[in-house]
Chain A
């Protein structure tokens, strides 16, 4: 054992050992990226299964139909007459209908300000008290007046009203059923859920006059389509990439696909052949949505409160009618009604690649962790490198006989590197503040202005640093080491919360591992140009061009998400990625030890 230790210690001194880390770090990135593409294979993904036995999905007869269809038609008539009216007028009418069913109703006002706009409205909700319950638990049925694309939910609202009337007749509910009719799909549900959990800012969002018990689940219906539909699209992405329990999705897949025979689609994959390319596409779309962390429907706001929620959207040309959709909801509610405790058995961290195939966190997390580990490896490597004596090549022969030379470490000058890293970190508050507080019209001009400043600023900063402090190579190594250490640390913490965002940022900032200061101006310029191509604003511009979106719209959505739903992706981009990028630019543009070289040349002359 001591011999092994001493040989390990001897290995530590070997100069070759210091050559390995950059390759190791590159390997980490490659393995991490390739890992992701292996996941859709049969060997790495698993079939979904229902984990919670109490759910018993598709085990009950559903009776929604028959005369309820006439009721639905009548409600549809009423709802159609309300299209184009104001929020309050709509709520007046809907409230009278719901109250007529014998449910307790209440309203809630909310106002949000974001990107120079005001989002205000009034939520209407009703509580169906459980005949067999004690008001300690509740399930929510949501229909927003407008969906996320601002189309009027012409079939969803009447269907929810009809279902409320139908549910009222049954005596088997053991959980209260809350009907929530919100004016829009994002702000309304958010205000309602916040207020339900008393987590709202009461200056902008009113408190709820009546409440029920702990929310156990929520289903939102987004039914815009007029004709008969083919199958159901499940939207399951929550705010900040949080997901509902997989059992809920499985139950709906089981009920809609198995019992009703209508099929289920995920992530806008309307035709899924369950082959590798389609699985990969589903998974990547899911990861992108998760990474952006935006709300994707009325259900999204529920998930951060640990209320499992999904939105159901009928799509396609088929022979299913509103009654079939109602039966899917009925079946799902019957399953949720069976729950003895909160959904907890199945997975909360998963990537779905088909309605019946998923990978769980244990399988996919290593890829993000490997990408994050690459930064840590480089940070440790640079720390070790910065501690070594900078022995000029000529003197290596002299020192070779002294075996203790390589273990001797030089004093590290930590102050300047720490100051640079702290400066780039604190500057990150500026773009974060600007892009979240500028009015909508000014967003695009500000963005282009920022893009310009962002390109010029590192050059200026680097110039200031080199002229004022003339940092040595060691200090540049330390700047990079600290900034990569922070980046690796933030990304590995983030990977546990939002895997996709961590993976995305990790891959985009991977070039930062390999930048280094160089003495030749050409490589400096090339390095700087390459880094600028992967800068946060440049990536934003490129992705806007790829998806044919307007940069201003993206920024507006981000600002709205920040203020309304509390999406933290902007913090990650500006306060984690951008400072690391800035520190990388300072390193690439750095001219280490210029003064020392000059001194040498002066001495020689």
Chain B
């Protein structure tokens, strides 16, 4: 903490600047939020604000929100949003909520950055760790990232998941495993896929335990903390049951993600594949796709055991590519974590190519979508091709970051090889 007052002043300035920027866009361009809400890049069937409105309407009229098959989000959003005034007549309250969530995520990210976990974990200390950005810059990069801004303006409910995940990690690095588990259960309750982050998160919590209460064995540590997640999840499900009055929400929220029953286009790789699929192969390939998504968890957790935060970052990148309903919000979460690894950036080999590919894809994507849907002169292949490029850009980033981190570890073991060209065999 270098000069508490300065930091507080800068923090306030950053947060105020972020809030003013978003409010300015909300008020000066009143049509933009609704336009962004309709974009498939931002709103997926499981995070769309429009669908939330539909669910809210049904809920407020005492109809099950899952009737009609439009709403696929967690039931607890409904009481939260029905507390707010109507989003159509008084949108400003919704805007404030979303801005606050972004700022909360940023504060969690700030804590993660300031903990220095990215450079030196319990089992590994990078020789390059001195080269890093402080929490202020990391938070600023996250908050001013156009993808984050667009997600906030599009009022996608994935920002709540992002916030919960970041808080889970922040709690883990600050030695509060119980809170971390609770935060992760909230994330899993909202979006399901964060449950896959449990193994690396448990490892991270184990590594960052407070010394006075240290538990020596991973197994007993996990055994005492994993039940917390399921306990909290059970509690949340119970509350959901009380709110909606039936267990119908389980198939409508998690079932939709598991079976991909809504094939609305998005930036991911699943929808096109399952549109083309013959029905008899559908369940087999669903299993394969989910298996593929979850198989990274074990492998990465074991291989990069010494840096659990790296595992979490890479998994977030992988989820942003291979999830059933990804959006740019997932990419913004991944891109929020990447700057923590500034110390390995010099080891990355394709940074310019990655930046160029991601930027090209984010401009060509809307152009091709326009050609397909509005101009009618293109077809679905145009958009799918560009989502492949988008996925390629992100997977390049995941691979390159992994390469850099592994090389950083390797150079500590083999100092004589530092700076030499290496070859994969």
Contacts and interface: CB of A to CB of B under 8 A. Distances in A.
B295 interface: no
B8 interface: no
Interface string A1-33: 010011001000000000000000000000000
A380 B352 contact: yes
B377 A348 contact: yes
Nearest to B353: A380
Contact of A493 (B346, B367, B419, B420): B367
Interface stretch (B107-115, B358-366, B396-404): B358-366
Given A493-B363, A497-B371, A404 B376 contact: no
Given A306-B375, A383-B352, A492 B360 contact: yes
Contacts of A304: 375
20 contacts: A2-B423, A2-B425, A6-B423, A306-B374, A306-B375, A376-B356, A379-B356, A380-B353, A384-B352, A404-B419, A404-B420, A404-B421, A407-B421, A408-B419, A409-B346, A485-B359, A489-B359, A493-B360, A497-B367, A497-B371
Interface of A: 2, 5-6, 9, 242, 304, 306, 342, 344, 348-349, 376, 379-380, 383-384, 404, 407-409, 411, 485, 489-490, 492-494, 496-497
A411 B425 CA distance: 29
B352 to A, nearest CB: 5
Nearest to A380: B352
B360 A489 contact: yes
| Most chain A CB neighbours (cut-off 10 Å) among B352, B360, B364 | B352
B373 to A, nearest CB: 10
Given A409-B346, A493-B367, A344 B356 contact: no
B368 interface: yes
Contacts of B364: 492-493, 496
A306 B378 CA distance: 12
B370 interface: yes
A306 B376 contact: yes
Contacts of A496: 364, 367-368, 371, 378
A200 to B, nearest CB: 14
A5 B421 CA distance: 12
B375 A242 contact: yes
Contacts of B360: 489, 492-493
Contacts of B346: 409, 411
B135 to A, nearest CB: 18
Interface in B328-355: 346, 352-353
A305 B363 CA distance: 22
Given A407-B421, A494-B367, 8 more contacts: A306-B374, A306-B375, A380-B356, A404-B419, A409-B346, A489-B363, A493-B363, A497-B371
Interface of B: 346, 352-353, 356, 359-360, 363-364, 367-368, 370-371, 374-378, 419-421, 423, 425
Contacts of B374: 306
A348 B374 CA distance: 13
Most B CB within 10 A of own CB, among A5, A306, A496: A496
B363 A348 contact: no
Contacts of B423: 2, 5-6, 9
Nearest to B131: A411
B205 to A, nearest CB: 35
Nearest to B370: A497
Contacts of A5: 423
Contacts of B368: 496
A342 B376 contact: yes
Contacts of B353: 380
Nearest to A242: B375
B419 A485 contact: no
Contacts of A342: 376
Contacts of A349: 377
Contacts of A492: 360, 364
Contacts of B375: 242, 304, 306, 348
A348 B376 contact: yes
Contacts of A6: 423
Contacts of A9: 421, 423
Contacts of A409: 346
Contacts of A383: 352
Given A376-B356, A380-B356, A409-B346, A344 B376 contact: yes
A591 to B, nearest CB: 26
B161 to A, nearest CB: 30
Nearest to A12: B421
Contacts of B419: 404, 407-408
B211 to A, nearest CB: 37
B152 to A, nearest CB: 20
A420 B182 CA distance: 45
A304 B377 CA distance: 11
* Pairs of residues from A and B, 10 with the lowest C-beta to C-beta distance, nearest first: A348-B377, A493-B363, A306-B376, A383-B352, A493-B367, A493-B364, A489-B360, A496-B367, A489-B363, A404-B419
A506 B421 CA distance: 38
A245 to B, nearest CB: 9
A289 to B, nearest CB: 18
Contacts of A493: 360, 363-364, 367
A6 B356 CA distance: 25
A460 B16 CA distance: 33
Contacts of B371: 496-497
A6 B421 CA distance: 10
Contacts of B359: 485, 489
Contacts of B425: 2
Nearest to A490: B363
A349 B346 CA distance: 44
Nearest to A481: B352
A420 B101 CA distance: 32
A379 B353 CA distance: 10
Q: Give the one of A304, A348, A494 with max B CB within 10 A.
A: A348
Nearest to A411: B346
B382 to A, nearest CB: 8
Nearest to A348: B377
A496 B423 CA distance: 39
B359 to A, nearest CB: 6
Nearest to A494: B367
Contacts of B356: 376, 379-380, 485, 489
A2 B370 CA distance: 43
A349 B356 CA distance: 27
A5 B423 CA distance: 9
A102 B337 CA distance: 69
A352 to B, nearest CB: 16
Nearest to A344: B376
Contacts of A379: 356
Nearest to A5: B423
A493 B364 CA distance: 5
A356 B207 CA distance: 74
A349 B375 CA distance: 11
Contacts of A404: 419-421
Nearest to A485: B356
Contacts of A376: 356
A566 B375 CA distance: 15
A386 to B, nearest CB: 10
Nearest to A410: B346
A493 B361 CA distance: 9
Contacts of A494: 367
B294 to A, nearest CB: 32
Contacts of A2: 423, 425
A348 B360 CA distance: 24
B28 to A, nearest CB: 13
Contacts of B352: 380, 383-384
A497 B368 CA distance: 9
Nearest to B425: A2
A306 B420 CA distance: 58
Contacts of A344: 376
A383 B354 CA distance: 13
A582 to B, nearest CB: 20
Nearest to B371: A496
B39 to A, nearest CB: 16
